[in-house]
Amino acid sequence: MYPPAFDALLAALADIYRTEGREAADRTAQALTTTPAPESFLPQPPCELDAMMRALLVTSPHPAADAILAAQEFIPWGTNPVADRMSEAAAAICAVTTLMSPEGPIPAPDLRLGLFYQRPDSYYALHNHDADETYVILAGEALWTAGDDTRIRRPGDMIHHPSLMPHAFRTGPEGLLALWRWSGDVNTHSYAFLDDPQAIAV
């Protein structure tokens, strides 16, 4: 059994995926609420960005924000599946946790899922990967580029990136906290930053 606060977080995330309308989302919701608990969800040392995350989450109207706050001490921030593909500068603007993947902690052979936090007034440069990806904004906002579509995204917005679609995000003064899921070919070696004139302006 998961810690009660973590169990409530997984249920809140499963509720989000039940509204997405994709087969991968349905499987994700099922896995989040039925997979036996791993032993790794124990109290964690606070993440370096913990205070900033908490300050952002308390401002959010999204129902999952409260669940993240309540479970924050159990969330293993820092388990970024593509850390080896990022520069130090890129890694410094964000914190990532992986909750589900082929390697665990919640095992799933063709899914990766976690939470993503990005600092205020920062730019995550244009990139892509083989996996299909769905983001859900839980707190804060960002100017979000997904292919040819660039617009402000706010809590409750769901953004889908088909395989290899270039995407990037620029936060404002609040920063951003989002839920992400990869499906399909979830390899990490295809993750690549792309030529991006916007990155020069950061």
The per-residue pLDDT for range 15-38, each reduced to its tens digit, is: 999 999 999 999 999 999 998 777
- Residue 200's pLDDT is what? 57
For residue 202, pLDDT over 80 is answered with: no
* CA pair distance 75, 67, nearest whole angstrom: 11
* CA pair distance 20, 190, nearest whole angstrom: 25
C-alpha to C-alpha distances, 145 to 66, 96, 114, 121, nearest whole angstrom: 27, 19, 20, 16
- Which residues partner with 143 through β-bridges? 152, 170
Asked if 38 and 105 count as a contact pair (C-beta separation under 8 A), the reply is yes
pLDDT confidence bin for 97, thresholds 50/70/90: very high
Contacts for 184 with CB less than 8 Å, ≥ 6 apart: 24, 110, 130, 131, 132, 163
Mean pLDDT of 113-135: 97
- Residue 174 sits in a domain whose CATH number is 2.60.120.10
> Does the predicted model carry a pTM greater than 0.85?
yes
Handedness of CA 54, 21, 188, 154 (dihedral sign): negative
Domain count for the chain: 1
For residue 124, pLDDT over 70 is answered with: yes
Burial (CB count <10 Å: 0-12, 13-18, 19+), residue 39: exposed
Range of the domain at 170: 4-200
Tokens of 90: 């890129």
- Residue 188's pLDDT is what? 95
Average pLDDT, the chain: 93
- Which residues partner with 169 through β-bridges? 124, 144
